[in-house]
Amino acid sequence: MSAEANTKQQAAAEKPYLVVFYGTECPHCIEMEPLLARLKAETGLDYEHLEVWHSAKNDQTRQGLDKSSTCGGVPFFYNRKSCQTLCGTVSYERLKQWALNRLPEACEI
């Protein structure tokens, strides 16, 4: 394996497994920020923020992960480990269950 390929694999492995898709001006996304900060403080889990309203590439990624198209917008949360998603404003308890892979429903990879 080339050094470049190895570096790319390491970078992918180091990415947080939690992904938060948001819009800069989205009021629901702004409402979720304190809950995300609390989640990080309490669990130590990090997440990747991807802005979609000003990035067609990030929005295309979001659309690909929202396979059932049940969300269609932001905030949209994706867990790379469990393949579980959340859509919109959710309670802290639900957000935490999702982050810790404790939601009962999971999609197939």
Residue-wise DSSP of 43-79: H---EEEEE-SS-HHHHHHHHHH-TT-S--SSSEEEE
Query: Per-residue pLDDT tens for 50-74?
Result: 999 999 999 999 999 998 778 889 9
70 in a domain, yes or no? yes
3 in a domain, yes or no? no
Domain total in the chain: 1
**Domain ranges, residue 82:** 15-99
Task: Report the percent of the chain where pLDDT is more than 70.
Answer: 82
Residue 2, pLDDT score? 54
Reported confidence tier of residue 15, pLDDT bands at 50, 70, 90: confident
Residue 7, pLDDT score? 46
pTM: 0.81
Query: Per-residue pLDDT tens for 72-94?
Result: 899 999 999 998 999 999 999 99
